[in-house]
Structure 1
C-alpha cells in the first residue's frame, strides 16, 4: 500500500484552480457558448463562469442556472481581473461590443472545443477572443484574427486568413488560401472556394458558394454567389 503523507493529501484534496469568466451575450449564441465552456471544463477544469452580461436584459434573471449580472457598463465597472467572451453572432455588433469593453480589468478569452485539433505542428495562429466550436476542422498554416467565431462543424483549409471579427455559421467551408477580410459573415453551409478573397463586412448567404472575389459591404447569395445588395458603411 502506498503511503500518502499529510502534505500530499492536502494537495490532492485541493479543488482545481479555475479562472473567472463572464459571457457577454445572453441570447442563443450565449447559451451555446455556455455549453462550449462546460465541455471545456469537462475535459479539464479551466473556467469559473461568473454570469451573463448583455445590454438587453433577458426575461429571466438566470440562464441555465447562470445569473444575469448587467450591461456593458456594469461589466466595465468590475474591480477584479475577469476574462470575457463575447457571444454575439453578428460581426459588426461583436466589434461594437469589444470596443465598449475598455476596462483594464477585462481580458478576452479564447475558447476552443477540446476535440478540435489545434497542435503546434499545424501552425495555426489565433488572435485573442476567438471561439471555435465542436466539430471544426482546421488544417495547417492558418491565421485567425481577433474575435473570430467558428460555429459548429466549420472547415478551414490551408493558408487561409480570416480577419478580425469574421463570423462563420454552422458547417461553413473555407478552401485553401482564402482571405476573408475584417468582419465577413458566412451563413450556414456557405462555401468559399480556394484563393477567393471576400471584402470586409461582406455577407455570404446560407448555402451560397463564392467562386470569385466579392467586394466589401455587400450581400451575396446563390450558386455561384452573386451580389444582390450593397451596404452603407
Structure 2
C-alpha cells in the first residue's frame, strides 16, 4: 500500500491532466471538488469522464465522456484518475480493472478540511475527502477511502481500503472499519467498535458492538438483518 502522511501532502503541478472514472452524481460532485481545489491552488486540468456504462449524453457537466476502463488503460501518456464510485465493492472492482502503469490515483482533500502535520493522519492513494469532513488525530485511511460530505473520524480510527462513508457518517475514536465497509448517511460507529470486512451499516444506524464480515446492519442499536429461508 502507498501511504501518504498528510505532512507530505502537496498539491500537484499546475495543469496536471486528470480524468474522473464514474459519470454519475458522485462524479459530478468530485468535479466540483476538483474545481474547488483549483480555486485555491490551480492544479488539475480535468479532461472529462470515463465510465463502463456510457451516459445518456455525450457530455457530463460540460465535460466529454471519453470511454470505458479499457479505453482508459490504453492512454499513452501519464494521467491522474479520480475514481468516483460510491459503492465500496464497485469501486474496488473498477480499480482492479485500471491496470495501466500510466495511471496514478492522487488523494483529493477539500481545501477547507483542516488537516496538518500535527494531526498525524495517513492517507492511501485514491482517497477522496469531501467538504465539511472533520478528522482529529492519529488516523489511518487506506487506499481509495471515500469520505462524503460532513463526515467525522475520531482519534486512532482505522479505515481500511475501499471504505465508504456517506454524508454525515461518524466514526468514533479507536473504531476500526475493515476493508470495503460502507456506512450509510448519518450512520455512527461508536468508540472502539470494529466492523468486519465488506459489511454495510444502514442510514441512521448506530453500531454499538462489533459486527462480523459481510453483513448488513440497521437500526438503533444496529442489528444484523436476518434473511428468511
- TM-score of the superposed pair, with normalisation by structure 2: 0.93
Q: Which runs of 5+ in 1 are unaligned?
A: 1-15
The correspondence for 2:36, drawn from 19, 34, 39, is 39
- Residue 13 of structure 1 is matched in structure 2 by none
Query: What aligned pairs does 1:129-208 form with structure 2 within 5 A after superposition?
Result: 129-208=126-205
Which of the pair has the greater relative contact order for Cα pairs under 8 Å at 6+ separation? Answer: 2
- Distance, in Å, in 1 between the alignment partners of 2:154 and 2:24 is 30
State how many pairs are aligned: 215
- The whole-number CA distance in structure 2 between the counterparts of 1:103 and 1:176 is 37
Structure 2 counterparts to residues 1-233 of structure 1, below 5 A: 17-229=14-226
C-alpha displacement at 1:229, in angstroms? 4.6
For residues 221 and 179 of structure 1, the distance between their equivalents in structure 2, rounded to whole angstroms, comes to 18
How far apart, in 1, do the equivalents of 2:176 and 2:192 lie?
7
After the TM superposition, which parts of structure 1 deviate over 2 Å for at least 4 consecutive aligned residues? Answer: none
2-structure distance, mates of 1:121, 1:48: 31
Cα deviation code 1:137-187 (max 9, x no counterpart) = 000000000000000000000000000000000000010000000000000
Describe the superposition over 1:108-137 as per-residue Cα deviations: whole angstroms up to 9, x where unpaired.
121000000110110000000000000000
Partner-residue secondary structure (3-state), 2:225: strand
8 Å Cα contact 1:118-1:138 kept in structure 2:
yes
Matched-pair contact (CA < 8 Å) for 1:187–1:207: yes
SS at match of 2:186: coil
**RMSD across aligned positions (CA):** 0.9
Matched position secondary structure for 2:20: strand
Instruction: Quote the offset at 1:18 in angstroms.
Output: 1.8
Contact 1:150 1:169 in 2 (8 A): yes
In structure 2, the residue corresponding to 1:22 is in which secondary structure?
Answer: strand
Q: Offset of 1:17 from its aligned partner?
A: 2.4
Whole-angstrom distance in 2 between the partners of 1:95 and 1:224: 29
Q: 8 Å contact 1:218–1:229 — kept in the other structure?
A: no
Distance 1:179 1:114 in 2: 26
- Consecutive unaligned residues of structure 2, counting only runs of 5 or more, are 1-12
How far, CA to CA, are the matches of 1:162 and 1:21 in structure 2?
26
